[in-house]
Amino acid sequence: DLHPSYLLCCFFGPILPFYERVIFACRDDPCPVKLNLSVGAYRTEEGKPLVLEVVRRAEQQLANDRSCDKGYLPIDGLADFNKLGAKLILGDDSHALEENRVVTIQCLSGTGSLRVGAEFLAKHHQQSVIYVPNPTWGNHPSIFTLAGLSVQYFRYYDPQTRGLDFEGMLEDLGAAPSGAIVVLQACAHNPTGIDPTLEQWEQIRQIVRSKGLLPFFDNAYQGFASGSLDSDAQSVRMFVADGGECLIAQSFAKNMGLYGERIGALTIVCTSEDVARKVHGQLLLVVRPMYLTPPIHGASIVTTILKNSDMYKDWTIELKGMADRIISMRQQLYEAIQARGTPGDWSHIIKQIGMFSFTGLNEKQVRWMAKEYHIYMTYDGRISMAGLSSKTVPQLADAIHAAIT
Ligand SMILES: Cc1ncc(COP(=O)(O)O)c(CNOCC(=O)O)c1O
Q: Is 108 in the pocket of ligand 1 (CB under 6 A)?
A: no
pLDDT value of position 1: 57
Give the ipTM: 0.98
C-alpha–C-alpha distance, residues 267 and 105, integer Å: 7
Bridge partners of residue 180, in order along the sequence: none
Distances (CA, A) of 156 to 74, 159, 282, 294, 349: 39, 10, 33, 34, 17
Q: Is 253 in the pocket of ligand 1 (CB under 6 A)?
A: yes
Nearest to 143 by CA among 183, 114, 181: 114
Q: Is 110 in the pocket of ligand 1 (CB under 6 A)?
A: yes
Q: Is 220 in the pocket of ligand 1 (CB under 6 A)?
A: yes
Whether 218 is catalytic is yes
Of the residues 254, 315, 346, 380, only one is catalytic, namely: 254
CB atoms within 10 A of CB 112: 23
C-alpha–C-alpha distance, residues 311 and 49, integer Å: 21
Could you tell me the mean pLDDT of each successive run of 10 residues in the chain, 405 residues long? 58 54 84 92 95 98 94 98 98 97 98 98 97 97 98 97 96 98 98 98 98 98 97 98 98 98 98 98 98 98 98 98 98 98 96 96 96 94 96 97 95
Mutate to test the pocket of ligand 1, among 89, 107, 137 (most ligand atoms within 8 A of CB): 137
pLDDT value of position 5: 60
Query: 298: number of CA atoms within 13 Å, CB side?
Result: 24
Of the residues 76, 195, 218, 232, only one is catalytic, namely: 218
Mutate to test the pocket of ligand 1, among 19, 251, 261 (most ligand atoms within 8 A of CB): 251
From ligand 1's centre to the CA of 15, what distance in Å? 21
pTM given for the model: 0.95
Q: Whose CA is nearest to atom 16 of ligand 1?
A: 40
pLDDT value of position 4: 55
Q: Is 111 in the pocket of ligand 1 (CB under 6 A)?
A: yes
Q: Are strands 35-36 and 102-108 parallel, antiparallel or unpaired?
A: unpaired
pLDDT value of position 137: 96
Give Cα 309 distance to the centre of its chain: 26
Whether 137 is catalytic is yes
C-alpha–C-alpha distance, residues 8 and 196, integer Å: 44
